[in-house]
Amino acid sequence: MIDRKLEIFRMAATLGSFTGAAAALGMSQPNVTHQLAQLEADLGVALFIREGRNVRLTAAGRELLGACGQLFDDAEKIRRSVRYAAAKLRYFAVGGTMTAGGYLLPGLIAGYMRSHSAHSLSLSIANTRGIEELLLARKLELALVEGPFERGCFMSEEFTDDELVPVFAPGFAAENFSLAEYLQNGGRLILREHGSGTRYYFERFLHERGINYEPGAILEVNSFDALKLLVREGLGITVISRYAVLDELSGGVLNYGCFLEGRIWRKLNFIFLSGADHRFIDNFITFCRHNFKGFSPVR
């Protein structure tokens, strides 16, 4: 569907080499050079600056490379839509932030597809900022997020409450303890990166209670799996949704407790754009509400 010259251009721009592009695409270098010269002639601009055996992009080349990202994404979406139409399926892209997408949505999506055999769903997972960008680019129909979102940009439906709790290795901390004292005594926090909903709500909790920490008290991890392993090794405590550590809590390899300073609550929200497929969105959210089993109250 996409002009072959653009595919060659993107490969050469990515690798910074016509020779590398030829090898990657199974073409001869003269053919690659000819195709790119033809593309430059079609556009009436120079796309590359030759530097010996390597190349770099001109300003026009950088602009074209940026446009290619959206173009290739759109072409894939069209191909997928056509394939699903031929199979009499409707395709919808769903997104979720790390907690929602990693631990709540997979089971709900599987259940929805079992009960809606004519629908096929995909799941993209990113932090809140990443999910917003995917929605604004209309690469997702809707998303379930745990972080604050731009309410002026998106429509939303509340889904459920979620509590963030301190989690630690067995015996590492008391069931109820002071976060301020833990930090004053040199305790380490193992936290998600800035831009995540979990980090936002925990930082807000610290600010509201006037709790400070030294920069060295934070170990940032952008993977839940790595974060949980570090906590299991006794390197510190984390603050996380119980949904993200359900298996570890059930297996006894991690424990959770409560801060004496209070509890940390947040809302999980479905967000979407006004021009999205609201029939699907309404059906999916209704299904999720009817089939979601939350936690009983925290002790």
Instruction: Give the residue among 72, 7, 17, 19 at the shortest CA–CA distance from 48.
Output: 17
Q: What is the percentage of the chain residues whose pLDDT exceeds 90? A: 63
Hey, what are 200's tokens? 């936002």
- What CATH code is assigned to 161-266? 3.40.190.290
Each residue of 38-60: pLDDT tens digit? 999 999 999 999 888 889 999 99
Please state which architecture CATH assigns to domain 84-160+267-291. 3-Layer(aba) Sandwich (3.40)
Separation of CA 180 from chain center: 31
Domain with CATH 1.10.10.10 in the chain: 4-77
Each residue of 247-273: pLDDT tens digit? 999 999 999 999 999 999 999 999 999
Measured in degrees and rounded to the nearest 5, phi and psi for residue 229 equal: -65, -40
Which stretches does DSSP call E strand in the chain?
48-51, 54-57, 90-96, 119-125, 142-145, 155-168, 176-177, 189-191, 218-220, 238-241, 255-256, 258-259, 264-272
Domain with CATH 3.40.190.290 in the chain: 161-266
pLDDT in the model for residue 196: 83
Name the pLDDT band for 84 (thresholds 50, 70, 90).
low
CA-CA-CA-CA torsion sign (52, 58, 60, 65): positive
Name the pLDDT band for 81 (thresholds 50, 70, 90).
low
* pTM for the structure as a whole: 0.68
Q: Which CATH number fits domain 4-77: 3.10.290.10, 1.10.10.10, 3.30.70.1050, 2.60.40.1930?
A: 1.10.10.10
Q: Say whether pLDDT at 36 is over 80.
A: yes
